[in-house]
Chains A and B, each alone.
Chain A
Amino acid sequence: MTARPDAGLPRLLLVECPGLEVPDGASGASGASGDERLRRFGRVVEALSSVCPWVDAVRPGVCTLPIKGPTRYFGTEEAVLAQVAETVAAALDASLVGAASGAAGPTRGVPGAASGAASGAAGPTRGAAGEAGAAGPTRGPTRGVPGEAGEVRLGVAEGVFAAALAARAGSVVPAGGTVEFLAPWPVGVLGDPELSDVLVRLGLSTLGRFAAVPAADVLARFGASGARGHRVARGLESELPGYRVAGMGARLVAVLGRALALQDRQPGFWGGASAADERAGEVLTALQRRLGVEAVTVPVLEGGRGPADRCRLVPWSPAAASREPRTARRKVPPDPPWPGRLPPPAPARVTAGEHPVEVTDAAGAPVGVTARGLLTGEPVRLSVAGGPWTPATAWSAPWPVEERWWSRARRRVARLQVLTVDGTAWLLVTERGRWRVEAVYD
């Protein structure tokens, strides 16, 4: 699979407010201080919504906003950063005043433990930082805001994970530079000690070295979670699982007691369509190695009259998937003139293999279709593959079709819909006096 750096990941400005994170489970049991921190974070998010309506509260103490839109509005990225820094400072001051005037006191002195994706890592390794400098991904430190438990940190990069590291490093990573920016960071920032231990032992100590390993090998060796870290390292996926805290929007609304104009995204949303496609593609390739190429199929719709002619399942192929025409092929084709085509709705089950059917009239004589396309009798019962006789309650007129009339292999067939007393709706087809089941309207 070809690497597509920064496949559509949005460039984000990430705001991290040390001291406002709420450890897991703290909001319920330990009560007021957790809620108070969350309320102050909610005020920050609320204030930032005036800079940009697309604020994404990722987890307590951390939110992002896309930088592109506000830059158009404020003129330069510098101006956006200045505006954001000012807004956050004002919101924190206001919320401190609010906390002081309210009864709840004990929110001061909250330890500003390092939060987030990059647990355990304060920054890229020294030597690697040199590399990063040479690659020129940073543009000088961003403005900090004096906060209660340390400076509020801002960073800009593509995707949440990279933006969090950028905030830690105080960097504005230029557009398209995220993969280079990520490369020197130690694999420990992926927050999976087991994975990073193995990677370090294999000599893959940085995100850049890890990113250079082929995706299929990573999936085979480290499974789906390793593959996810790998995609993050390659700048293909926005964030690691477990970083985002679900339901932040609802929690902030609950502590603030008012609605917020902010996004509450599903985890993985920022990965976008291309990352989901890539993830599916990798797994389908792995599945083909396990079960055989023919076992993993995707549908292709084509012209034709019967349900089996109109749809074909072809083996999945990553190469075919990445080429454009797939889109055209797999859309339902506009109805071309296929005389004798079955009207919708289509049957839910198109039977594979031969299922011969006997169809008889009230006297027990076999029912057929005449050359003029009429039934020779009323089909009052049928027996599928030698099974029990089932009375028919309704049936259609036959749809006679002469298929492949242009070739010597032409066939005259007729289709018939039959409803049996058990409520099953059948699509039968007859050819040379023999009936078989073509589909079931299951």
Chain B
Amino acid sequence: MFATSRIGALAQRVRPTAASRTRLLPALPPIAALLPDGGLRRGTVVRCTGSGASSLAMAVAAGPSAAGSWCGTVGLDELGVLAAAGYGLDLERLVVVRAAPAEWAVATGVLLDGVDLVVLAPPRHVKHAAAQALAARVRDRGAVVLVVEDRPVFPAELELAVEAARWYGLAEGAGRLQSRRVTVVACGRGSAVRPVRQELWLPAATGKVAAA
């Protein structure tokens, strides 16, 4: 039962976790390549920007969700739940908060007490102080907020920008949308200051995210 070989095998399995420097939420492998720690550092804000940013946010959220974390969205009233399921979000642990634009901060702040990850599409004209206050709350709670925004308002540790996107499968009067190839550039602070580029299928023909 406690054969040495088995303990050795366990050690192999445990070591990557044991080596992690901080408390991380897991990411799917194609996304992990973009993250300086290979996972989402708790207590941080990550900005998703560019055309396809909401898909990217879903693909990022899919990692923690698949690992059992609750995820919430604020300001994404039009979230395509089928697409979210396709990217790998567990719908059992997904909550979509439809708050009035003025209530985004309350909704997000309260939600952070109960879920590990919030995808936030803030209204236009968020005050700088409100964004700072939210970031402080995220740090305090040890959660992760993925903010989908074009103008950088929130103090993000990491920015994931979709730089080039091209759909495949559709012609003039024929075919159908099958997959989209994107270039995502990750740029952050500290150890992530050097941008990292990754070509992704977002989504691949399966509906999931995949390395291109």
Which positions in A face B, CB cutoff 8 Å?
49-53, 73, 223-224, 246-247, 249-250, 253, 259-264, 266-267, 273, 276-277, 279-284, 286-287, 290-291, 294-299, 301, 307, 310-311, 313, 316, 326-327, 330-332, 343-352, 375, 378, 394-397, 417, 419, 422-425, 439, 441-442
Contact = CB atoms under 8 A, between A and B. Distances in A.
B174 A396 contact: yes
Contacts of B171: 394
A121 B207 CA distance: 55
Contacts of A422: 51
Interface of B: 1-2, 6-8, 10-11, 14-15, 17-23, 51-55, 58, 68-70, 77-86, 91-99, 103, 106-107, 110-111, 113-115, 141, 165-167, 170-180, 203, 205-207
Given A224-B114, A298-B91, 5 more contacts: A250-B20, A261-B14, A283-B110, A332-B82, A423-B167
Contacts of A283: 110-111, 113-115
B11 A260 contact: yes
20 contacts: A247-B20, A247-B21, A249-B18, A250-B19, A264-B20, A280-B115, A284-B95, A287-B97, A287-B107, A296-B98, A299-B84, A301-B91, A343-B176, A348-B52, A352-B77, A395-B170, A396-B177, A441-B167, A442-B51, A442-B53
Contacts of B96: 297-299, 313
A394 B14 contact: no
Contacts of B20: 247, 250, 264
Nearest to A263: B14
Nearest to A417: B177
Contact of A298 (B7, B14, B82, B94): B94
A375 B173 CA distance: 9
Chain B binding site: helix, strand, loop or mixed by DSSP? mixed
Nearest to B12: A259
Given A73-B1, A286-B110, A439-B80, A348 B10 contact: no
B175 A291 contact: no
B115 A295 contact: no
A349 B47 CA distance: 18
B54 A442 contact: yes
B80 A349 contact: yes
Given A264-B18, A283-B111, A397-B174, A348 B55 contact: yes
